[in-house]
Structure 1
Amino acid sequence: MKVCVLCKVALIPPPPLPPPQQPQTLHPSPMKFEDIDNLDQAACRQAMIDYTAENCCYDSIAVKEMTITRHNGLTAYHYTLETFTESRQTECKREPHRGGRVDGPENGPSPSPWDVLCNAEKIFHNQEKKIKIPHTEYVRPCNDCMGLGYIQCSECRGSGTKDCSCRKWSHNRECDRLLGSNERNTCHSCQGGILKCDKCSSKGKATCTKCAGSGNMKTFTELTVKFTNHVSDYVFERSDMPNHLVKEVTGKVVFEQDLDQVFPLTSYPIPEINNNSIRIVNEHKRAFPNERIIRQRQRLLAVPVTEVHFTWKDTRSRYWIYGMERKVYAPDFPHQCCCGCTVL
């Protein structure tokens, strides 16, 4: 079904309800590294052995011979805020009308776009729905064909015939005759240089593509509802390991809150987490002026990180073990080959 879009109108959401009062008991207690994971030297070496077994660029000999001089257990934190919003937009559309019921204003007043019932199928997931607003349909004759259902054929201009390409040959034959050539060419595709128009089957008219031959167009207002999950985050990590690695692993949930409107963390023992929680929550309050906030969810995740210092022959270096999966980050590990592999 071909639909013609006439206009688009973005809709400002109705004013939100006043936020609830902040509860008194909100803030989580700190989580120490020992409560998440505690690696000894054997576990630190085994994590590196498992890593070299999966990466051909690392030599397992260095792992077996290295001396672990120190390993420090740290805790990284990953704070996330999700704001699930709804936006609405109306579009005037047209489609061919081939008969049937028309739901127009005579059936009652059309509802306001924000009064049309539409719920998200799954919260905190992006999705889009299109709804035909009730009582907005009306039928008018098609402007392209003036309600006839057909238009003049563009190939033959309504004549039902078209010139054969042999007419050019006739001009060439006349030139040859004047030059003294007696060569004669006969066209087997036409009669006297005229062909039947194959586009319209010699009718001189073609079906109107806009109304699909019906002669009428039905206009209605379509509502597009978009549900968007906006995510912002912050990583607190004290070591030299890249922060983005913390986002790629699992840890333990220190705190989680799911409300119509969340409150930022303000009394967690790490000031950087409090400050960034306040910053992100305030940013989300102002970031989506044309969207209605449905739900918010914030989470603070504690991720174990172990920094391992080692020596091997004349090399002194370090690597990191992070996440409950005990992944390894070792950019300076010795005995790396150059076989085209990408070392993460």
Structure 2
Amino acid sequence: MNTGQALYAPPVAGVPSPTAPPVFDNVPGYEGTVIGGGGFLPPPAPLYPSPPPETEPSQPDWSIPSITEDTAREAFRKYVDSKCCYSSGPVDDGVITSMEAFNTYRYRLETFTEFRSTEWANKPYDGQPVNAYTQQPPGPWDIQVQPPTMFKDNTEDVQVPYTSSVKGCHTCFATGKCQCSECTGSGHKACWVCSGSGVRAGDESCTRCNGTGRESCSECHGQGTIECETCKGKKQLLVYINLKVEWKNNVEDFAVQQTGGFDSANLGSVTGKKLFEDTKYMVYPVLGFPDPNVSQASERLVREHQSKFSQTSRIHQQRQTIELIPITKVSYKWKGGSHLYFVYGNEFKVSADDYPATCCCILM
């Protein structure tokens, strides 16, 4: 018997055994990679050599952006207007006593990676060409897949060439039909009008079911079977190795904690003044930044990313940026009390945890 021929020619009609789609572990180049539905595929050698150390470009402007009292007050007003339970008294009558700006640097490292895995897949057989063993399939990393825009997550499934074969559907025993779950295969259900008794109030015969207590199942139209969801009634499946390609932008931030008491967790929702950007296949840590915390974070994260992701994925590109997030601490007095709020980010967002004029709203 020619087993190779049987893998790429449609089988003789018959009823197969009720097993899952066949898992062949002898496809050339894929031995051991698809057993259990998901094989780990180590990436090939890097596409490009690692870059040499570099000196940073000329020093940019590290000055702290300042805001005016009018800007601070207008941001405060918009914040209060967005709160249904906040009175505008502190905005209208509060007196600003001081404004203090803080250097808050955010370092961000992005590593754009490609991860590949394989698994056996199937779909209804509709006459597609089958070609398992006609020639050796290309290796998982030899298959050309167009990457998406850099630093954008995406996923793509690719049918590996020369791995497809035809098998009888394992779900319906190659019949194209499965038992209807609505009526458990009987083709009938209890009449919903008489609840299966055959009579209505007053011992009258039920006109809906003619006194039988049963009616035809609407799901299967009285047949007791429905079209198989797996093969869509085709009886056969095209079985093949599926290559799953996942592109992911792995992002990590580090914020220098010079915020004057402001909760730095809020910084994730705002942008800042971009001081530095570097995009390469593999970036080198930032050198000579005025705040040594930023340089130390850059060195640590670059080392961790290149070590962690190069073991499981192909690194396509890295990008590192440094932003100066403007944070202004505004102190003001209202009704004899001292209070404060923060204005932060290019968006002039406001944080005011101790707002002194709140009330309780009752929603009806």
Please give the residue correspondences for 1:133-152 in structure 2 after superposition, counting only pairs within 5 Å.
Answer: 133-141=160-168
2:280·2:318 contact (CA, 8 Å) conserved in 1? Answer: yes
Q: How many matched pairs?
A: 315
Please give the residue correspondences for 1:12-31 in structure 2 after superposition, counting only pairs within 5 Å.
Answer: 12-17=42-47, 19-26=49-56, 29=59, 31=61
1:119 to 125, 139, 146: 146
The structure whose residues are more often strand, as a share, is: 1
Farther-moved stretch of structure 1 (239-248 vs 96-105): 96-105
Measured against aligned partners, the alpha-carbon deviations of 1:275-334 in whole angstroms (never above 9, x if no partner) come to: 111122222123333211111111111121111222233312222111222222221232
How far apart, in 2, do the equivalents of 1:41 and 1:204 lie?
77
Shift in CA distance, 307/203, structure 1 to aligned 2, threshold 3 Å: closer
How far apart, in 1, do the equivalents of 2:317 and 2:142 lie?
19
Please give the residue correspondences for 1:82-231 in structure 2 after superposition, counting only pairs within 5 Å.
Answer: 82-106=110-134, 108-141=135-168, 211=231, 214-231=234-251
> The residue matched to 1:266 in structure 2 has which SS?
coil
1:30·1:268 contact (CA, 8 Å) conserved in 2? Answer: no
The residue type equivalent to 2:277 in the other structure is E
Offset of 1:115 from its aligned partner?
A: 0.4
Shift in CA distance, 5/287, structure 1 to aligned 2, threshold 3 Å: farther
Offset of 1:130 from its aligned partner?
A: 0.6
Is 1:236–2:256 an aligned residue pair?
A: yes
- The match for 1:11 is 41
1:257 to 260, 263, 278: 278
Measured against aligned partners, the alpha-carbon deviations of 1:222-252 in whole angstroms (never above 9, x if no partner) come to: 1111111111101124111110222222221
Is 1:78–2:91 an aligned residue pair?
A: no
Farther-moved stretch of structure 1 (74-83 vs 211-220): 211-220
**Larger gyration radius, structure 1 or structure 2:** 1
1:78·1:247 contact (CA, 8 Å) conserved in 2? Answer: no
Shift in CA distance, 340/126, structure 1 to aligned 2, threshold 3 Å: farther
How far apart, in 2, do the equivalents of 1:55 and 1:202 lie?
59
The structure whose residues are more often helix, as a share, is: 1
TM-score by length of 2: 0.71
2:21·2:239 contact (CA, 8 Å) conserved in 1? Answer: no
- The match for 1:175 is none
Gaps of 5+ in 2: 1-19, 24-36, 191-196, 198-208
Shift in CA distance, 67/116, structure 1 to aligned 2, threshold 3 Å: same
Measured against aligned partners, the alpha-carbon deviations of 1:113-133 in whole angstroms (never above 9, x if no partner) come to: 110001222221111101111
The residue type equivalent to 2:248 in the other structure is T
Offset of 1:208 from its aligned partner?
A: 6.9
1:83·1:230 contact (CA, 8 Å) conserved in 2? Answer: yes
Measured against aligned partners, the alpha-carbon deviations of 1:196-239 in whole angstroms (never above 9, x if no partner) come to: 99999999999777655555443211111111111110112411
Please give the residue correspondences for 1:59-78 in structure 2 after superposition, counting only pairs within 5 Å.
Answer: 59-78=87-106
Is 1:291–2:313 an aligned residue pair?
A: yes
How far apart, in 2, do the equivalents of 1:42 and 1:246 lie?
23
> The residue matched to 2:80 in structure 1 has which SS?
helix
How far apart, in 1, do the equivalents of 2:336 and 2:51 lie?
62
- The match for 1:326 is 348
2:56·2:288 contact (CA, 8 Å) conserved in 1? Answer: no
Offset of 1:338 from its aligned partner?
A: 2.3
Offset of 1:138 from its aligned partner?
A: 2.2
**Percent of paired sites with the same residue:** 32
How far apart, in 1, do the equivalents of 2:326 and 2:287 lie?
23
The residue type equivalent to 1:272 in the other structure is N
- The match for 1:176 is none
The residue type equivalent to 2:325 in the other structure is V
2:51·2:283 contact (CA, 8 Å) conserved in 1? Answer: no
How far apart, in 2, do the equivalents of 1:199 and 1:69 lie?
74
How far apart, in 1, do the equivalents of 2:351 and 2:246 lie?
40
Gaps of 5+ in 1: 170-186, 191-195
- The match for 1:48 is 76
Shift in CA distance, 324/207, structure 1 to aligned 2, threshold 3 Å: closer
> The residue matched to 1:114 in structure 2 has which SS?
coil
